Amino acid sequence: MKILGIDPGTGRVGWGIISHDKGVDTFVDCGCFETKANSDLPDRLVKIYEYIEKLIQTHNPDVMAVESLFFEKNAKTAIDVAAARGVTLLAGAKARLTVFQYTPLQVKSSLTGYGKAEKNQVEFMVGKILHLKEKIKPDDAADAVAIALTHAFRVR
Other CB atoms within 10 A of residue 43 CB: 11
pLDDT of residue 72: 60
Return the active site residues.
7, 67, 140
Asked whether residue 30 carries a pLDDT value surpassing 80, the answer given is: yes
What amino acid is encoded at 153 in this protein?
Answer: F
All structural domains of the chain: 2-154 (3.30.420.10)
Q: Is 34 exposed, middle or buried (0-12, 13-18, 19+ CB in 10 A)?
A: middle
**What tens digit of pLDDT does each residue of 84-132 get?**
999 999 999 999 999 999 999 999 999 999 999 999 999 999 999 999 9
pLDDT of residue 45: 98
pLDDT of residue 68: 92
pLDDT of residue 75: 76
pLDDT of residue 84: 96
Q: What is the mean predicted confidence (pLDDT) over 29-54?
A: 97
Q: What is the mean predicted confidence (pLDDT) over 34-38?
A: 94
Binding site, by residue number, is: 7, 67, 140
Binding site for Mg(2+), by residue number, is: 7, 67, 140
pLDDT of residue 74: 73
- Residue-level length of the chain: 156
Q: What is the mean predicted confidence (pLDDT) over 23-43?
A: 96
pLDDT of residue 62: 98
**What tens digit of pLDDT does each residue of 53-88 get?**
999 999 999 999 999 976 666 777 888 999 999 999
